[in-house]
Amino acid sequence: MNSFRDLTMHEARAYTEVNGPSLVSMNEDMVLAARKENPSLGAYTHFLDDDGLGSKESPLSGFHGAIKANIAGQGWPTHCGSRFLEHYISPYDSTVVARLRAAGSRFMGITTMDEFGMGSSCEHTSLGQVVNPWDRSRTAGGSSGGSAAAVAAGLAWFALGSDTGGSVRLPAHFCGVVGLKPTWGRISRHGLVAFASSLDTIGIFGRDVQDVHLVFQTVAGRDLYDATTLEETVDPSALETVDNLQGLKIGLPEDLENSQWGADVSRDYHCSVAMLRDLGAEMVPVSLGSILDSVAAYTVLNCAEAASNLHRFDGSLYGHRENRKSYIESLSQSRNQGFGKEVKRRLLLGAHVLSGGYRKQYYLRACAAQQDLISQFQKLFGKMDLLALPTAPTAAFALGSRLDDPLGMHLTDILTVPASLAGLPALTLPTSLNSQGLPLSLQLVGPACSERLMLEKARVLEELIGFRKIKEAPWNLHI
């Protein structure tokens, strides 16, 4: 073993049982490395002294996790990457944090994010941007870029993020880690600061599929604090070990080539498809039709819901406050000073599409498009078990290259938005490196509550690819 950074959680547990070094000493090394390297990486905004230990012995006991800054933990800063909430301390635990505490997990720190989850590059934040561990001149993705970078750099065993339109899968793709966006309602949103409530999900980053599954088993399930959580039970057993994909039907979009993507992404996608076929999967040609044109509907819906959800931030109860003579003046100045440029842009657009003269023209049409997309997916999953897509059109792009191009930034999510609008689970699995040494990935999308099927099948492909064995660890590139 060269470093604790070379191990997954289940590998670390097995290693300590055979070779003797304690998990405590590994975690101490991880804390020291994180504090030393974070100034140049920007993955964390705050480190936590809270050990979070519970009494239950579980596969997660003692492992350090990273938590995105929009997920509440008692006594922790829950700043959402915004100046507005820069000094806000949560008085309670979110359900996911409470369940991780009960399972014996520890908490490394709070990770950097795009302000209120609005962004695809972790550059829209008042607390410093994140850089990609593979190339410090490139983005780690957003909005959960800090969580992805922490796991990729070996500075957390696992991490939680949130995914509204691709904010877990895109950073996982850019940083070369596994990222899971579960079915909407599968994991409680109690304690997750709302951006677009009908789209928001808490997601998971891990070093491999099995680690992601362990965290998913711990945090998923019905929650009395969140009436939108699903009744579907979570299977507590380990993933089944299989060595082929016989009997699995995977949808292969015939019209995907019309999308604009890089040559490296195209080659990697077709290579991944060939591997799936070699493993015995049946490739089913399907047409996605208007599913690939869902970014417009997504933009209208997420901005409309953001305008509604962020209405509470007026400076009167908590957060940034500018004192003026009247409430209206205080409200205006508090938001002007507290919110960043991207948040203001989305709030203005959201207010516009919800206004009396435009609600029918924009918002209601977007709602209709979403329902049509859900119907299309239901028909597709009558023909297949999983859908295989690239995660993004390109590998990680250069920092600053899209800050003045909001449309280009939004189109980064063109391949992740459909699963979000339909509330379906999706998994990003790292596959290879492109010609510039940057990670690429495959995205699997499944029907509602098919996380276990998706993880089991992805694990077979993961074993064949061996991404963690063939790559140079990103933490060795800059030390």
143 is catalytic: yes
Closest by CA to 43, choosing from 100, 87, 106, 109, is 109
Please give the pLDDT value at position 473. 58
Mean predicted lDDT score pLDDT of the chain: 92
Mean pLDDT of 365-386: 97
Q: Please answer whether residues 284 and 383 qualify as being in contact, where contact means their C-beta atoms are separated by less than 8 angstroms.
A: yes
**Torsion angle, alpha carbons of 145, 148, 149, 155, to 10:** 140
Total Cβ atoms within 10 A of residue 309: 18
Please give the pLDDT value at position 51. 55
Mean pLDDT of 424-453: 97
* In the predicted structure, residue 30 carries a pLDDT above the cut 80: yes
Catalytic residue among 82, 94, 121, 143: 143
Closest by CA to 31, choosing from 66, 80, 76, 58, is 66
379 is catalytic: no
**Segments of 7-94 assigned E as strands:** 44-47, 64-68
Please give the pLDDT value at position 322. 78
Query: Minimum mean pLDDT among 403-407, 422-426, 428-432, 472-476: which range?
Result: 472-476
Query: Minimum mean pLDDT among 54-68, 214-228, 457-471: which range?
Result: 54-68
* In the predicted structure, residue 1 carries a pLDDT above the cut 50: no
Question: pLDDT, tens digit, for every residue of 218-256?
Answer: 999 999 999 999 999 999 999 998 899 999 999 999 988
Mean pLDDT of 188-206: 98
Closest by CA to 450, choosing from 224, 311, 290, 251, is 251
Q: Please answer whether residues 275 and 268 qualify as being in contact, where contact means their C-beta atoms are separated by less than 8 angstroms.
A: no
For the chain, the domains span: 4-246+393-476
* Highest CATH level, class, for 4-246+393-476: alpha beta
457 is catalytic: no
Catalytic residue among 68, 82, 94, 120: 68
| d(C-alpha 48, C-alpha 45), whole Å | 10
| d(C-alpha 183, C-alpha 153), whole Å | 27
Please list, in sequence order, all residues whose beta carbon lies within 8 angstroms of the beta carbon of residue 422, skipping any fewer than 6 positions away.
370, 373, 374, 377
What amino acid is encoded at 464 in this protein? L
| d(C-alpha 407, C-alpha 412), whole Å | 9
Please give the pLDDT value at position 331. 81
| Cα–Cα separations (whole angstroms), residue 204 to 86, 96, 284 | 24, 11, 29
Catalytic residue among 144, 167, 188, 441: 167
Please give the pLDDT value at position 53. 54
Please list, in sequence order, all residues whose beta carbon lies within 8 angstroms of the beta carbon of residue 166, skipping any fewer than 6 positions away.
120, 181, 391, 392, 412, 413, 415, 416, 417, 420
Give the three-class secondary structure for 304. Answer: helix
Query: Minimum mean pLDDT among 7-16, 243-252, 275-284: which range?
Result: 7-16
Query: Minimum mean pLDDT among 415-424, 458-467, 470-479: which range?
Result: 470-479
| d(C-alpha 33, C-alpha 475), whole Å | 10
Mean pLDDT of 167-188: 98
Q: How far does CA 475 lie from the centroid of its chain?
A: 21
Closest by CA to 182, choosing from 447, 371, 442, is 447
* In the predicted structure, residue 409 carries a pLDDT above the cut 50: yes
Please list, in sequence order, all residues whose beta carbon lies within 8 angstroms of the beta carbon of residue 107, skipping any fewer than 6 positions away.
48, 50, 51, 52, 64, 65, 66, 67, 73, 97, 100
Query: Minimum mean pLDDT among 75-89, 152-166, 304-318, 386-400: which range?
Result: 304-318
Please give the pLDDT value at position 14. 87
